[in-house]
Structure 1
Amino acid sequence: MTPTQIAALIAAGAFVLLVVLLAIPLVKLGRTLDEATNAIRKAHENSDPLFTGANTTLTHVNTQLERVDGITANAKSVSGNVSALSSLFTATLGGPLVKAAAFSYGVTKALRARRTRREEPAGRHSRRGKRGRK
């Protein structure tokens, strides 16, 4: 064997050793990719019930929101009716009620003034004059 053939055999052996050394990480990488594929598949299978449950929950939430919208609309209607009723009450009874209260206050004040005039002694009344009265 010539030295060129021996060098070629050494180079071929080194190349085989390099291929073997690179094959080990490639095989491990293939196993890792297989495990990742299995994990993704399992996650996909387990996500279907999760999404189904989420859809059911959202359906119930939407139903409850529709009910709340109805309740809000009814409350708005009731508050409008109460506002109209209070306006009607104020317009119908407010004026006469204020007049009756003013009349009652005036009568009460007049009666008190009359009582105090009766109870005052005669001498005190003459000293007071018109300016002292309020």
Structure 2
Amino acid sequence: MSNITTYRVAAASFSDAEVTLQVDLDVLTPALAAEINNFWSHPKDRLQAEDGDVVRAVVRMFGEAAIRHFMADGGASFGPCPWGDRQMTAEVLKAQVEGWPDIDGLGIGIVGAEVSAVGYHDVTLEAV
């Protein structure tokens, strides 16, 4: 029986961009999460931000990567969708290039997103 938890990762200072992730905690174990966290720079900072919970740190880091990917791709609005919208999750993993297991070995699936990209009316122009 799977141990699945749903998380929302939000970037409030960026137009309230957010992704909804379903995490299979039988796949994303603390040992796997530690391996992922330690691959990237500043692992201690992420652990401190999540009160030492390495699984939460990695889920939050994946959510951040997803939000950045969707912003760069012009935004995204979808969900809820079946567990692990594989296409969206695979796109984010492909964009990351390294540091993450494949989609089946990760245990995180993107099931929803509301992410806007910067538009014309979000920017200003002034002579300097």
Provide the TM-score with structure 1 as the length reference. Answer: 0.18
Structure with higher RCO (Cα < 8 A, 6+ apart): 2
Structure of higher CA gyration radius: 1
